[in-house]
Amino acid sequence: MQNNELPPFINDLDETQKEAVLCTEGPLMVLAGAGSGKTRVLTYRIANLMFNGVDAFNILALTFTNKAAKEMRARIEKIVGPDARNLWMGTFHSVFAKILRFEAEKIGYTSNFTIYDTDDSKSLIKTIIKEFNLDDKLYKPALIYNRISSAKNNLIAAEEYINMADLMASDEANGRKKTADIYTEYAKRCYKSGVMDFDDLLMNMHKLLKNHPDVLNKYQHKFKYVLVDEYQDTNHCQYMIIKRLVAASRNICVVGDDSQSIYSFRGANIQNILSFSRDYPEHNIIKLEQNYRSSKTIVAASGDIISHNKEKLEKKIWTSNPEGEKINIIKAMTDSEEGKMIANSIFEAVSNRKVNYSEIAILYRTNAQSRVFEEAFRKISIPYRIYGGLSFYQRKEIKDLIAYLRLVVNPGDEEALKRIINYPTRGIGNTTIEKLVFIANQYNVSIWNVIEKANHFEVLGAAVSKLNNFYMMLTNFRQMALVKDASETAEYVAKQSGLLKHLHDDKTPEGVSRFENITELLNGIKEFCEDDTNENEKNLSAFLQDVALLTDKDQEEEDNSPKVTMMTIHASKGLEFKYVYVVGLEENLFPSHMALQSRVELEEERRLFYVAVTRAEQVLTLSYASSRFRHGTLLHCDPSRFITEIDPRYINSTLMYRGKQMPSKESIFGTEGLGDKKTSLTKLNIQPAFRKNISLNTNKQTGEPDFVPDDLTGLKAGMRVLHQRFGKGVVQEVSAEGINSKAIVLFNESESKTLVLRFAKMKILD
């Protein structure tokens, strides 16, 4: 390929990006730090290849999402024209499915094979488990599916699985020694039916290239240039396919960041990017180290964090952006208070700093953490959206338990009854439910009325005894609700219905998440009952009403209206926000207690924290709680070790503590070492300072009682006030808007603030 002239669009790039775009021959690894413009480099690199005469049909670009591929193709088309439509660009699965259509006969398929999605696969596995007369509580379809998927991602076919002693021993130790037989039968059924699942698309592509030299030669010479995005997220099967495809041309360009490798639970292998130099000794490495996204403070702090990992590729991320604000740390007494404090912080930012809701993100380790923020946001009317998942109360497992609770209060609630009458399974199938509905309609009564009199209806046949058992169970729940509060009743229902055990026994990642969500709901009900403001209303009916009002959505609200984004950190990768709150930074939550068994697991958790921090452009806030409800128990929590890995020079010296301004850093830590880059927060005893040195009742600097705000109900224009943070001021205007009444106050004769009175910490001076 000739590089006689530079394309005109090359001037849009910085010098390092230009180098990555123009270095077209041979193996190249582009180490792209967070916010360094890797998508632009990939896009321009492909455009440059085409500008210099490479046929679009000879370029293969592999991505991890269809959205990324679509956006890149559109950008390339704007640069070089419609020929970009001929690029082989897409996800691994979509590109390999296309090739397998052409070559299907080589591996015993027809070109019109169909593709099973995850639900199809699990359904087939469930059928096989039933035919084998195996216990479906032990051989859960989701669990077996994940086991088979993992094997395929590591190129272990069914006939090989049964001969692998370590896998067989592991299955036997877990009481599932028939897993290999299920895998064998599953593979046989798929093949006989002419279908492939998602993992087959990868494994069969590898089989095609490995077993058919003519096909391998064909695609090696067809794809003269291969580009792979997010290389750190590839699994072993994808790695081997790429290695075979580029063996002839050696023109491979991988783009990625080892510091953002966070998907090992999906089979991603960080060693693929770490061993690139070994696989391609003649390689070039270009490091995109300039961050265009974040402030100097955030970039420096993220560098501190990732420096604690031992297994990494060295790079020094920097930015020419402004210094920016220091990192805020919020400590709350409980997880519920954490939600309220962050809601107040966001409200203040939007009211006083003119921040748009859409510029704000809440990032958490697990989906279950969203509840306290959703509830806090609803109460002060902060709009939000759950990204990459359902609202907490819209998740299936939550709706299931809520349906049980609704029936306890009102057994005539037919939608709730139909939802859970056979969940967990109790032998009341669809045919019986159809009969119940028919009888109820004939007699113009509720389904529950029919169940009460089930013995009178011969058409119900053998289902009568099962219906009687269901009736007795629910009646028992209703009697419990008469004498117990909402928390005790809900816990009893969750256990006795079998719902809690059903979810607890599912050890797949999805199952663990569902169980955590149910326990989080039970935590929420317990908090509801312990809330002193609900002293006279702690029964189940009151809680359900509270939830119903809390989750009622405004149907007229447009989808594109500004909202705070809430998501897991895994879902946030690739996104950016001006304001980011990383919440729940506690030991055993983040890092997760499941990731503390080895350095490899801990380092992935740290990379996950690095990803969270680098989503922030301007303002970053970290929060944690001193105590958190988990599995119905209030547990003491220690701050995450990750907080201590940030140099104190990047931490806001006026840390927030239960909504109060904390003493200065010097008064807590002393002045020694504050300017030392090497000094860690651990050496400065930040954790003991948080736990022991600060009283809730008195100010350690003055010995005076803490600021106690007045009731501001009678506040009027012209009154003089004293604000805890802003000092003395004069009220300019008061607007009456119910619970969101606001006041405009002029402080220090120059600074005007708009305050929501229910949150304003002020004393009235006259």
Q: Would you name the residues annotated as active-site residues?
A: 38-39, 229-230, 260, 615
Ranges of beta strands (E only) in 28-174 are 28-32, 59-63, 88-91, 114-116
Alpha-helix residue ranges (DSSP H) falling in 672-729: 686-692
Tokens read off for 706: 């803490």
Output the six-digit token pair for 380.
């002060």
Which residue in this structure is represented by tokens 């189940």? 540
Cross-strand partners of 755: 743
The burial class, CB within 10 Å (0-12 / 13-18 / 19+), for 159 is exposed
Cα–Cα nearest to 14, from 259, 304, 290 = 290
Torsion of CA 228, 232, 236, 237, to 10 degrees: -30
Q: In whole angstroms, how far apart are CA 729 and each of 4, 92, 574, 736, 744?
A: 69, 62, 44, 20, 10
CA distances from 228 to 58, 272, 343 (A): 14, 12, 40
**Any idea how long the chain is?**
766
* Distance (Å) of CA 502 to CA 27, 137, 393, 497, 746: 50, 8, 19, 9, 59
Return the closest-CA partner of residue 609 out of 641, 637, 579: 641
Tell me phi and psi for residue 760, to 5 degrees.
-70, 130
Q: Which residues are CB-neighbours of 54 under 8 A, at least 6 positions away?
A: 1, 224, 225
Residue 681 CA: distances (Å) to CA of 470, 590, 607, 700: 57, 18, 19, 21
The pairing of strands 633-636 and 616-630 is antiparallel
Residue type, 455: N
Cβ-count burial 457-495 (b if 16+ within 10 Å, e if not)? beebeebbebbeebbebbeebbebbeebbbbbbbbbbbe
Query: Cα(745)–Cα(611) distance, rounded to whole angstroms?
Result: 39
* Local structure of residue 327 (DSSP, 8 states): B
Phi, psi of 635 (to 5 degrees): -110, 145
The 3-state DSSP class for residue 660 equals strand
The dihedral through the CA atoms of 636, 640, 644, 648 has a sign that is negative
CA-to-CA dists, residue 59 to 56, 224, 228, 371, 502, angstroms: 5, 6, 11, 46, 49
364 and 569 in contact (C-beta within 8 Å)? Answer: yes
Residues 288 and 61 sit within 8 Å (Cβ to Cβ)? no
Provide the angle, in degrees to the nearest 10, between the axes of the packed helices 370-379 and 509-530.
40
Distance (Å) of CA 601 to CA 103, 227, 270, 538: 40, 29, 12, 42
User: Residue 377 is encoded by which pair of tokens?
Assistant: 């946001």
